[in-house]
């Protein structure tokens, strides 16, 4: 059961440009994304209302998107505005449209009940707009697993020491024994892990030149249903980071946004924003190059996990201590789904 009354990321803003439209599948519906004459992002069902050709095989024109088969033009609202060789346009020549909103370099869509589409619910991530202080780089990975398995992944970091043992993981025990604080937020749940007075990983030393032990933090804010805002860093032990002074030192922010493609596949939109040596583009690039392979490791694992769950279900599985935050997250999403069912039933 996919939650539909939610803002999902359809694309990075810079993926939608020019004459070429972009095809995506969200909540198992094929959609086409393009910008109308004014530059505003639009999202339509990716099926022409004439003979069902995918509009994404057409081209973007001044009035909208032109089907590549027989030349019909559909505007950003889904209305057919031109039929070659025909003056009258039938009123039912329409394509399903979806609300699309651009914010912080991302284009979000609402696949559910339009009456409930409140843009106030779209996640804030202003760092994408602040390349001076937070130079950043982004990507999107297709993943053959339910999007919640990727959120699970981010809510239980004990996997770092095993799945990422050869990349960012380092010492498993350090991760498992990290100090952990979890708080509810109005839109989700946030946990902060501290590895105080710990040996910095080699990459941190290389990046920030630490001479001795550090206080290291990882803050993960889950925003329902499927965004995770991460803030990670380290400072010299005792320099006050734990008490709140987290400027300087080594730090970066990661944005993780998961969008359901189907019940068993998703898009993983992610970015890294570099909070140190901001005037050195190679520092941001290096961070990106270090992080990208770990997400590929996640992908391989959750895809295998999905395959097993699809075949064998979840009967007989046990929850362990490190699942606590993950389960809190899951209950929130389940409440949203239950609410959507009830709300739509009431209408």
Question: Which of 13, 239, 283, 301: binder of a second copy (CB under 8 A)?
Answer: 301
Annotate each residue in 40-59 with x if it binds a second copy (CB under 8 A) or - if it does not, as one string.
------xx-xxxxxx--x--
Instruction: Give the residue, chosen from 316, 342, 346, 347, that forms a contact with a second copy under the rule CB under 8 A.
Output: 316
The four Cα atoms 199, 202, 203, 208 give a dihedral, to 10 degrees, of: 60
Q: Residue 340: which of 5, 1, 8 has the closest Cα? A: 5
* Closest distance of CB 50 from a second copy, Å: 6
User: From the CB of 74, what's the least distance to a second copy, in Å?
Assistant: 12
Q: Are 101 and 108 in contact (CB under 8 A)?
A: yes
The reply to whether 181 sits near a second copy by the rule CB under 8 A is no
Q: In the beta sheet, which residues pair with residue 97?
A: 44
* Residues 286, 194: Cα–Cα separation, whole Å: 24
Minimal distance in Å, beta carbon 330 to a second copy? 12
Closest to a second copy by CB, 153 or 259: 153
- With binding defined as CB under 8 A, does residue 221 bind a second copy? no
Residue the block writes with tokens 């030149």: 209
Residue 98 or residue 125: which is nearer to a second copy going by CB? 98
Per-residue binding letters, 78-117, with a second copy (x by CB under 8 A): -----xxxx---x-xx------------------------
Taking CB under 8 A as the rule, does residue 71 contact a second copy? yes
Give CA–CA dist 289/1, Å, rounded: 35
Task: Kindly state whether residue 152 participates in binding a second copy, applying the rule CB under 8 A.
Answer: yes
- Residue 323 and residue 176 in contact, taking contact as beta carbons nearer than 8 Å: no
Q: Is the dihedral angle over the CA atoms 295, 202, 213, 158 positive or is it negative?
A: positive
Burial (Cβ within 10 Å: 0-12, 13-18, ≥19) of residue 284: buried
Does 161 engage in binding with a second copy (CB under 8 A)?
yes
Q: In what order do the strands lie in the sheet with 97-103?
A: 7-12, 106-110, 97-103, 41-45, 29-35, 22-26
Task: Give the pair of three-digit tokens for residue 206.
Answer: 């290389």
Whether residue 258 has a cis bond before it, omega within 30° of 0: no
Is the CB of 57 or the CB of 199 nearer to a second copy? 57
For a second copy (CB under 8 A), the number of binding residues is 51
Closest by CA to 306, choosing from 154, 163, 162, 147, is 147
Nearer to a second copy, 292 or 309 (CB): 309
Asked if residues 256 and 267 have their Cβ atoms less than 8 Å apart, the reply is: no
62 lies in the site for a second copy, by CB under 8 A: no
User: Chain-centre distance of CA 92, in angstroms?
Assistant: 35
Per CB under 8 A, which region of 32-40, 169-177, 204-212, 227-235 contacts a second copy? 169-177
Note whether 321 binds a second copy by CB under 8 A: yes
* Binding of residue 158 to a second copy (CB under 8 A): yes
> Interacting stretch for a second copy, rule CB under 8 A, among 136-144, 243-251, 255-263, 310-318?
310-318
Is residue 283 within 8 Å of residue 153, measured between CB atoms? no
Nearer to a second copy, 304 or 338 (CB): 304
Specify the stretch interacting with a second copy by CB under 8 A; choose among 6-14, 128-136, 249-257, 304-312.
Answer: 304-312
Query: Per CB under 8 A, does 314 bind a second copy?
Result: yes
Q: DSSP alpha helices (H): ranges in 109-239? A: 147-155, 160-163, 172-176, 202-208
Binding region for a second copy (CB under 8 A) = 30, 46-47, 49-54, 57, 66-72, 83-86, 90, 92-93, 152, 156, 158-159, 161-163, 172, 176-177, 300-301, 304-305, 307-309, 311-312, 314, 316-322
């Amino acid at each position: 059961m996919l939650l539909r009354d939610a803002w999902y990321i359809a694309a990075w803003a810079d993926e939608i440009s020019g004459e070429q439209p972009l095809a995506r599948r969200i909540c198992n519906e094929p959609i086409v994304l393009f910008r109308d004459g004014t530059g505003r992002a639009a999202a339509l069902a990716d099926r022409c209302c004439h003979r069902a050709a995918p509009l994404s095989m057409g081209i973007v024109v001044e009035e909208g998107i032109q089907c590549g088969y027989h030349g019909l033009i559909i505007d950003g609202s889904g209305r057919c505005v031109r039929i070659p060789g025909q003056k009258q346009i039938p009123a039912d020549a329409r394509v399903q449209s979806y609300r699309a909103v651009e914010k912080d370099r991302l284009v979000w869509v609402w696949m559910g009940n339009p009456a409930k589409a409140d843009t106030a619910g779209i996640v804030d991530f202003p760092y994408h707009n602040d390349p001076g202080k937070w130079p950043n780089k982004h990507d999107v990975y297709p993943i053959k697993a339910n999007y919640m398995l990727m959120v699970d992944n981010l809510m239980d970091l004990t996997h770092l020491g095993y799945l990422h043992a050869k990349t960012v993981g380092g010492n498993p025990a350090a991760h498992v024994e990290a100090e952990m604080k979890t708080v509810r937020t109005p839109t989700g749940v946030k946990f902060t892990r501290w590895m105080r007075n710990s040996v910095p990983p080699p990459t941190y030393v290389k990046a920030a030149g630490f001479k001795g032990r550090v206080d290291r933090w990882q803050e993960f804010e889950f925003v329902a249903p499927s965004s995770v805002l991460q803030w990670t860093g380290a400072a010299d032990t005792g320099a006050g980071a734990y008490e709140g002074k987290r400027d300087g030192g080594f730090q970066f922010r990661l944005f993780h946004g998961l969008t359901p493609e189907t019940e068993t596949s998703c898009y993983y939109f992610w970015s890294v924003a570099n909070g140190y040596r901001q005037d050195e583009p190679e520092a941001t690039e290096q961070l990106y190059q270090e992080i990208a392979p770990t997400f590929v490791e996640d992908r391989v694992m959750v895809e295998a996990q999905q395959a097993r769950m699809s075949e064998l279900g979840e009967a007989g599985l046990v929850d362990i201590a490190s699942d606590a935050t993950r389960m809190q997250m899951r209950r929130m999403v389940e409440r949203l789904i239950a609410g959507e069912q009830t709300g739509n039933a009431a209408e």
